[in-house]
């Protein structure tokens, strides 16, 4: 995880190829050992990783959800994201307003860091907030989405993440392992004392590989040796389906999958 931006920092953009695998939680220690030999541990995560909490916005008809399910070549979604302990989130806590979009096979993520009170004012109250020149176009795009499409919070996800970053020949590579993937369909304040339930079985973790150009051969060899299969799992879609907002798609991770 990158060091949190201060509220005045400019827009940040990431363009990457992403591949996801569903792995048995029992396989994670062995995978962790291999990854730690090849990659550096994200210095901001600590030995136990860090929490990732996201509030997703969509239309009443779940337009962004259906664009993902139907595999549109161009699609996007809006979310607020916090890294760390959600119970410590207050009005001045730095969070990220993000637009994540898919253009053919490339995933693009653009985001700005804002105090939580300003992020909520922007996305929930649909009002422009104080900003720098470099943030202006992005914030207007967010306002255009929430106002033009009548977006509102529809789902929240949270999980514990271990992250590894590439070095030497693997610069730009990022590999994450997400455990205990949870969610809820109400009480969308990040710090709300609300129940989150598992939306991916606790027996499973999600391994995600992000690369600027291509995934290195050793990583695909590792996936092959471990019999890992590429999946199109989306934590947002998983949450929508887990709480009955839409029928379970062919990409849904079942409640009690058979372990390999």
What pLDDT, on the 0 to 100 scale, is given for residue 258?
53
Any domain includes 18? yes
What pTM, to 2 d.p., does this model score? 0.91
What pLDDT, on the 0 to 100 scale, is given for residue 256?
66
Rounded Cα distance between 238 and 7, Å, is: 31
Any domain includes 251? no
DSSP 92-128: TSEEEEEEEEEETTEEEEEEEEEEHHHHHHHHTS---
What pLDDT, on the 0 to 100 scale, is given for residue 152?
98
What pLDDT, on the 0 to 100 scale, is given for residue 4?
39
Any domain includes 227? yes
| C-alpha torsion sign, points 181, 172, 71, 126 | positive
Number of domains in the chain: 1
Rounded Cα distance between 250 and 248, Å, is: 7
CA distances to 8, 9, 77, 113, 173 from 132, rounded to whole Å, are 6, 8, 23, 11, 30
Instruction: Say which CATH number the domain at 120 has.
Output: 3.20.100.30
Please name the residue that has the structure tokens 């490339």: 106
Q: Which residues of 127-146 are buried (b: 16+ CB within 10 A; e: fewer)?
A: eebebeeebeebbeebbebb
Any domain includes 196? yes
Any domain includes 225? yes
Range of the domain at 59: 12-242
What pLDDT, on the 0 to 100 scale, is given for residue 5?
41
What pLDDT, on the 0 to 100 scale, is given for residue 140?
96
Any domain includes 249? no
160 C-beta neighbours (distance < 10 Å), count: 17
Rounded Cα distance between 154 and 188, Å, is: 8
Any domain includes 64? yes
Tens digits of pLDDT across the chain (260 residues): 333 344 445 687 778 889 999 999 999 999 999 999 999 998 777 778 999 999 999 999 999 999 999 999 999 999 999 999 999 999 999 999 999 998 888 889 999 999 999 999 999 999 999 888 889 999 999 999 999 999 999 999 999 999 999 998 888 899 999 999 999 999 999 999 999 999 999 999 999 999 988 889 999 999 999 999 899 999 999 999 999 999 999 999 998 655 44
What pLDDT, on the 0 to 100 scale, is given for residue 48?
81
Q: Cα(first)–Cα(last) distance of the chain, in Å?
A: 31
What pLDDT, on the 0 to 100 scale, is given for residue 31?
95
Any domain includes 4? no
């Amino acid at each position: 995880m990158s060091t949190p931006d201060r509220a005045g920092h400019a827009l940040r953009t990431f363009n990457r190829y992403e591949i996801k695998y569903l792995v048995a939680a029992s396989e994670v220690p062995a995978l962790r050992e291999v990854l730690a030999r090849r990659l550096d541990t994200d210095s901001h995560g600590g030995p136990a990783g860090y929490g990732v909490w996201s509030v997703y916005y969509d239309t009443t008809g779940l337009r962004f959800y259906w664009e993902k399910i139907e595999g549109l070549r161009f699609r996007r979604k809006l979310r607020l994201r916090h890294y760390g302990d959600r119970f410590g989130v207050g009005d001045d806590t730095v969070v990220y307003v993000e637009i994540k979009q898919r253009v053919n096979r490339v995933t693009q993520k653009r985001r700005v860091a804002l105090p939580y009170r300003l992020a909520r004012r922007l996305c929930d109250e649909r009002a422009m907030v104080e900003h720098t020149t470099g943030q202006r176009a992005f914030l207007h795009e967010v306002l255009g989405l929430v106002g033009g499409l009548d977006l509102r919070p529809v789902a929240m996800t949270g999980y514990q993440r271990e992250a590894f970053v590439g070095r030497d020949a693997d610069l730009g590579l990022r590999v994450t392992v997400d455990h205990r993937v949870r969610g809820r369909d109400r009480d969308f304040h990040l710090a709300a004392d609300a129940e989150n339930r598992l939306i991916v079985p606790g027996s499973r973790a999600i391994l995600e590989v992000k690369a600027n150009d291509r995934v290195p051969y050793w990583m695909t060899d590792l996936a092959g040796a471990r019999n890992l299969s590429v999946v199109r799992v989306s934590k947002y879609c998983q949450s929508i389906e887990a709480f009955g907002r839409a029928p379970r798609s062919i990409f849904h991770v079942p409640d009690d999958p058979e372990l390999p």
